[in-house]
Amino acid sequence: MSRVQDLLTPIPAAYHTDERQAIQEKARQFAMEVILPAANELDPIQGQIPEEIRKQMGELGFFGIMAPKKIGGLGLGVFEYCLVTEELSRAWMSTASIIARSAMARGLPFPDAEEKARLAARGEYLGSFAMSEPDAGSDIASVRCRAELDGDEWVLNGQKMWVTFADGADFLIVVARSKPYDPAKRHSGIRQFVIPKERGSFPEGITGNPVPKIGYHGWKTWELALHNVRIPKDYVLGGRGNSSSSSDDDTAGFKAAAQGMAVPRVHTAARAIGCARGALEDALAYTQQHERLDQRISDLQEIRFKIATMATKVEAARALTYSVAHDADRGVMRQREAAMCKLFASEMADEVTNEAMQILGSSGYTTEYPVERYWRDARLTRIFEGTSEIQQKIISDSLLPRPARKREK
């Protein structure tokens, strides 16, 4: 009999509420009974997240966890968002990622913005975020995609890279420059433009190719080319659409993009923890179901110690994530702690999923067991939403003076 339940340590007393426990249990049951079988079937053939699962997730409220109740959301916080994210990710990380696509629909510069936000809270109006470019991933200030004002319209031209869900989304948010690139003012003029689109296709002026990725299946990630894409001049986030050269703080768009990364980083930590937990739980079950030399694998001391270390790492990452999420819900979201949380959880998930494969031996290196999926998906958490090196940079820059150039001797 598996002792997997031992891993599901209760929400610590300091954070526990009955409501939190209820949403965690609801997410856990749905993830294990509905999402996990779909993931096991669809990930190996790179299939898409089924519409039916998306619909059920909408009905359970998972797209609107942090949306206000008045627009049909659950009116909860980052903490509950992380609880649900871990559960979904334990089954299939992509389903934990798709719930993040609804928050993009809040505050859209459309006349029917409230109706769109209401649809988004049910998972029926979702966005895709196009920030990265072939030569601008870690460094947002290097973005070259250009937006030029022509009468009452912005005209966008450039290339975007790694745009997940660009095809399936109902709108794109494109980070572009409203001024020519100036190496002396790299942070200036960067804004987020909103391009409405039909689900399942690209609007006029946009063409794309899917990137052949090794994991994160369930949806596609795209390379996009934008050629004279026209949108009304008001379709800019933050209401700064009427100007291409403002005299006030023109780095606000860059700062908004950078600061907007904090919650996604905590969300990524929860995704990483879900992957690690999936691999660990599968390893626990495997070791109790398989024998070597007339002994259960779980009886081998080396394996027991590996399991102990893996479980401790998962719990440590979870404790840090809970703490950061708890503070965020009290209005304190520090970039440094969000970076620490993402760094620690994603590195941990890479180690734990890797170790789980080791515990399964050759079976771990097959597609017969989902452990390899957790490993492939966990690996991504060290790269997207800011690489581990970028998190280290954020943390070290907050602790130390910026490095000085070497003095000449």
In the complex, the smallest distance separating the C-beta of residue 325 from ligand FAD, rounded to whole angstroms, is 21
* C-alpha distance from residue 27 to each of 43, 48, 317 (Å): 20, 20, 20
Nearest to ligand FAD of 131, 348 (CB atom): 131
In the complex, the smallest distance separating the C-beta of residue 111 from ligand FAD, rounded to whole angstroms, is 27
Rounded Cα distance between 128 and 389, Å, is 25
User: Which of 27, 22, 26 is CA-nearest to residue 11?
Assistant: 22
Question: Does residue 137 interact with ligand FAD by CB under 6 A?
Answer: yes
In the complex, the smallest distance separating the C-beta of residue 361 from ligand FAD, rounded to whole angstroms, is 28
Q: Among 162, 286, 369, 374, indicate the residue that binds ligand FAD (CB under 6 A).
A: 162
Catalytic position from the list 115, 351, 385, 408: 385
Q: What torsion do the CA atoms of 350, 173, 140, 215 make, to the nearest 10 degrees?
A: 20
Question: Does residue 20 interact with ligand FAD by CB under 6 A?
Answer: no
User: Which of 29, 66, 21, 61 is CA-nearest to residue 325?
Assistant: 66
Query: In this structure, are residues 181 and 144 in contact, taking their beta carbons and an 8 Å threshold?
Result: yes
Options 14-22, 131-139, 192-200, 270-278: segment touching ligand FAD (CB under 6 A): 131-139
Q: Among 35, 91, 104, 131, indicate the residue that binds ligand FAD (CB under 6 A).
A: 131
DSSP 8-state class, residue 5: G
Nearest to ligand FAD of 87, 377 (CB atom): 377
Options 16-24, 160-168, 266-274, 344-352: segment touching ligand FAD (CB under 6 A): 160-168
Options 26-34, 63-71, 224-232, 387-395: segment touching ligand FAD (CB under 6 A): 387-395
Rounded Cα distance between 55 and 260, Å, is 27
Look at the block and give the residue holding tokens 């929400």.
Answer: 11
Options 157-165, 280-288, 296-304, 316-324: segment touching ligand FAD (CB under 6 A): 157-165
The contact mask relative to ligand FAD for 321-360 (x = CB under 6 A, - = no) is ----------------------------------------
**Positions 67 through 86 that interact with ligand FAD (CB under 6 A):** none
Collapsing DSSP to helix, strand or coil, 63 comes out as: helix
Question: Does residue 216 interact with ligand FAD by CB under 6 A?
Answer: yes
Options 30-38, 71-79, 278-286, 386-394: segment touching ligand FAD (CB under 6 A): 386-394
**Residues ≥6 apart with Cβ < 8 Å to 23:** 65, 74, 76, 80, 83, 84
Rounded Cα distance between 283 and 359, Å, is 7
Nearest to ligand FAD of 176, 356 (CB atom): 176
Question: Does residue 398 interact with ligand FAD by CB under 6 A?
Answer: no
Half-sphere exposure of 352 (CA within 13 A, CB side): 34
Residues paired with residue 154 on neighbouring β-strands, in sequence order: 149, 231
| Catalytic residue list contains 385 | yes
Rounded Cα distance between 93 and 42, Å, is 13
* C-alpha distance from residue 334 to each of 263, 359, 381 (Å): 10, 37, 20
Instruction: Kindly list the catalytic residues.
Output: 385
- The binding site for ligand FAD (CB under 6 A) comprises 129-132, 137-138, 162-164, 213, 216, 221, 380, 383-384, 386-387, 389-390, 393
